[in-house]
A and B are shown apart, each in its own frame.
Chain A
Amino acid sequence: MSFDVPDDRRYLESHEWALETDGVVRVGISDFAQDELGDVVFVELPDEGDDLAQEAEFGVVESIKAVSDLYAPVGGEVVAINDDLFDAPELVNEDPFGEGWMLEIEPDDPDALEALLTADEYEAQIA
């Protein structure tokens, strides 16, 4: 089975992705991760304004069969959360890199993304 790994963003070994646009980093989980989890039924996210340390737990995603912690790819302030996921957690399965995004962080360190896995490196990890 092959999974989408768009190369416009960076990845964590724990399967989160991070995409920077105009200084804000959007975060979600990968296609591989949503497939491993199966039907996502619940997402728990922090509040806007919360401060997250890099690689800190920021929430939980639950499928019918599993509970999985979520980790922040970069440290900084949460400036937006995707509250559509509260009513429609299945967006994480349907469109993990788009509509299924989870939160946006204003990073403390604008270069923090550079230290994360590239698409090629992440693809090698899940191969």
Chain B
Amino acid sequence: MPLQTPPLRGLHDEYGAKFTEFGGWDMPVEFESIRTEHAAVREGVGIFDVSHMGQLHVTGPDATELMQRLTSNDVSRLAVGDSQYATITDEDGIIIDDTVVYRLPDGDGNATDDADGDPTYLFVPNAGTDEATHQRWIDYRNEWDLEATVDNRTDEYAMFAVQGPEAVALVDDVTEESVADLERFEARYATIEGVDCWTARTGYTGEDGVELIVPWAAAEEIWTAFDCQPCGLGARDTLRIEAGLLLAGQDFHHDDDPRTPYEAGIGFTVALETEFVGRDALAEIHERGVEERLVGFQLIDRGVPRHGYDITNSEGRVIGTVTSGTMSPTVEQPIGLGYVPVEYAEPGTTLQVVVRGQSKKARVETTPFIDTV
């Protein structure tokens, strides 16, 4: 299958970026160097092209109910311009995907005027999952006989993340209207180069920042309006690992590494007082408690933990697997995430990670590994 290309593939190539396949997309992985880009975001500001993220648009009289019943968080709490982190779970409470749900202005972006006053949502599933998620929404809407329109608009929107301690000030300079007053997880339209951009104070780096969802056709004007370090998926990965944030498909995978939000350490996305697919199973697990949990760890010995490496206890018995790992550019230590039985999950617990057949000493750490917003 040919890779999908983001609207600015050519521009990034001209810049000299290196590319990688991610979720079926051909995305820039590195513009300068991961270390340089990582530091720009921790200390100043950087911009990421994250147009591989999906965009699904849901509107109609029953849009809120449909969203509520298919995501784990409490959608009814979202006023226009609010957003929330949520998971999409199956009947057993296993995470299929994680996402951010934005509530757009009522009726916004409708193909016809019929739905003008209806609640409207945009949510952002992970790269390559938009089609399956779209189908899931359609199937359940039909099964439950709800009145809502579900559109896959992944190919209509580019998405950029401007991240770092100086990000909000930079975005505020670039937008016509001020956006500096946005609270975390608040969003609204702001004008850049005459174009309406959905501007949200969200991100995936552990820093303050803004994510912009912009029309595909205007991507270049908007990208070039930001005079700051372009950053690739490489730095995005090191930044999110330091922040202890999960990567779908790697820190959980519906088939290969099935996990509930409680195991993954994101129980805060589960609103048990709401009705959603997976709710009953999760209520039971919540009651009973989990057997394994995602922990952060630091290698004490030299080495770099990587996805798939075994975690053992100090006697050498395999008790878990590394799901993500890197040499942290900020704390300059090898760090990682992985699932272990809860009796090994206490910070300070000594573990070992098997790197190319050699056991390396590791210690469970609290996440995030850095101070975050």
Contact = CB atoms under 8 A, between A and B. Distances in A.
Interface in B330-351: 334
Given A39-B34, A41-B327, A60-B356, A65 B304 contact: no
B220 to A, nearest CB: 23
Contacts, number: 38
Interface residues of B, number: 19
A38 B356 contact: no
Given A60-B356, A64-B34, A41 B304 contact: yes
A64 B238 contact: yes
B303 A64 contact: no
A41 to B, nearest CB: 4
Given A38-B34, A41-B327, A42-B327, A65 B306 contact: no
A56 interface: no
Contact of B329 (A42, A44, A62, A64): A64
Contacts of B302: 42, 86
B326 interface: yes
Interface string B295-319: 0000000111010000000000000
Contact of B30 (A38, A41, A67): A38
Contacts of A63: 34
A124 interface: no
Contacts of B327: 41-42, 62, 64
A11 B326 CA distance: 30
Band of interface residues on A? 10 to 19
Contacts of B368: none
Interface of B: 16, 18, 29-30, 33-35, 234, 237-238, 302-304, 306, 326-327, 329, 334, 356
Given A41-B304, A65-B234, 16 more contacts: A38-B30, A39-B33, A42-B302, A42-B303, A62-B304, A62-B327, A64-B34, A64-B238, A64-B326, A64-B327, A65-B29, A65-B30, A65-B34, A67-B304, A86-B302, A93-B33
A14 B326 CA distance: 24
Contacts of B306: 67
24 contacts: A38-B18, A38-B33, A38-B34, A39-B33, A39-B34, A39-B329, A41-B304, A41-B327, A42-B302, A42-B327, A42-B334, A62-B304, A62-B327, A63-B34, A64-B34, A64-B35, A64-B234, A64-B238, A64-B327, A65-B29, A65-B34, A65-B234, A67-B304, A67-B306
Interface of A: 1, 38-39, 41-42, 44, 60, 62-65, 67, 86, 93
Nearest to B34: A64
Contacts of B326: 64
Contacts of A65: 29-30, 34, 234, 237
A63 B237 CA distance: 13
A116 B177 CA distance: 63
A39 B303 contact: no
A86 B306 CA distance: 19
A1 B304 contact: no
Nearest to A43: B302
A93 B326 CA distance: 18
B234 A42 contact: no
A46 to B, nearest CB: 13
Given A1-B16, A64-B238, A39 B304 contact: no
Nearest to B332: A41
Candidate in A38, A67, A86, A93 with the most chain B CB atoms within 10 angstroms: A38
A93 B34 CA distance: 13
Nearest to B36: A39
A46 B168 CA distance: 49
A124 B238 CA distance: 34
A31 to B, nearest CB: 14
Contacts of A42: 302-304, 327, 334
A54 to B, nearest CB: 22
